Structure 1
C-alpha cells in the first residue's frame, strides 16, 4: 500500500495551489488622480519601499511603474506572486465516526521572495501578512473520504483552524 501521508500531502498541496498567492495587481503602470484613492496609494507606496516599483506625479496624476526588480518578480500571470503553500508537517490523522479522515497540518511558503517579507508590504497586504506570520505555527485541517474503489479524495479545501489576531 502506498504511503498515506505522501498521498495526503500531494492532494492537500494540489488544493492549496489552485489559487496562486499573488497581490492581485496585474495591470502596470497603475495610476490614480492625485489625492484620490488613499488605499491604492498606501499599497503602491509599500511596493515602492520594497523596491518593486517607482512613483511619479505628473499632470494631477500619480503613477507607479515597475522597476527592473519588479519586472523580474512578475509571475507568468503578470502579477506579483509570493510563492506556493506547501505542507510542512502532518501533525495528526484521525478518522471520525462517519469514516471521514481528518488531517491536521502546518505549512510553509515555497519560493517566498524577499520583497514579501518587507514590513511595509506585509502591513499593506493583510492576507500576505497573515500567511507569512502563520508559517510553521498555524494549523490547517483537510477532510478526506474514499470512493468505492478505496481511492482517497479531498472533500473540500483545507481550512485554517488557528486564528491569529
Structure 2
C-alpha cells in the first residue's frame, strides 16, 4: 500500500461532455439505479432468464441474452454493495460533518438564507382499500388474534351497508 502513495500518479480526465447538467444525469443513471431494470427482463421460465442489453462492441445494438437462473443471480449479486460500503461519499464542504458545523457560516458569507427545518409530519396511514381516507386505529390485538369479548361484541353489532 505504501508503494502506491510513493508512485507519481498522473490523473488524466477528459473534458466533460455537454453541460454540467448532462454529467449529473449521466452519473445519476449509475449511482441511483439497480443493476437491471424490470423492463429489460423479457422472459423468465423454469430454467432461464432472458433480458435485453446493448452490445457496445457492435455500436450499441440491442441484443438479448439467455442465462440460467443461477448465473443471472450470480451476475446480479456482483452489483450488490458490501455491508457498510458507501456508493457515494461527500468530501470537503459537502461532507456531513462540515455541513453540520460550517454550513450556516458559509451561507451567511454568501448572503443565502438558510432553509428553515420544518417539523416532521406525523405519519397518517391511508385506508388499505380506497387509498384515500385516513386509517384510524380503533383496536390492536396480539398475534394470537382478537380476544373473545371483541368477537362477541362484533357479532352483536349490525354489519355496515356498502
Q: TM-score, normalised by structure 2?
A: 0.24
Give the number of the structure whose residues are more often strand, by fraction.
Answer: 1
Give the number of the structure whose residues are more often helix, by fraction.
Answer: 2
Q: Could you say which structure has the larger radius of gyration? A: 2
Higher relative contact order (CA 8 A, sep 6+): 1
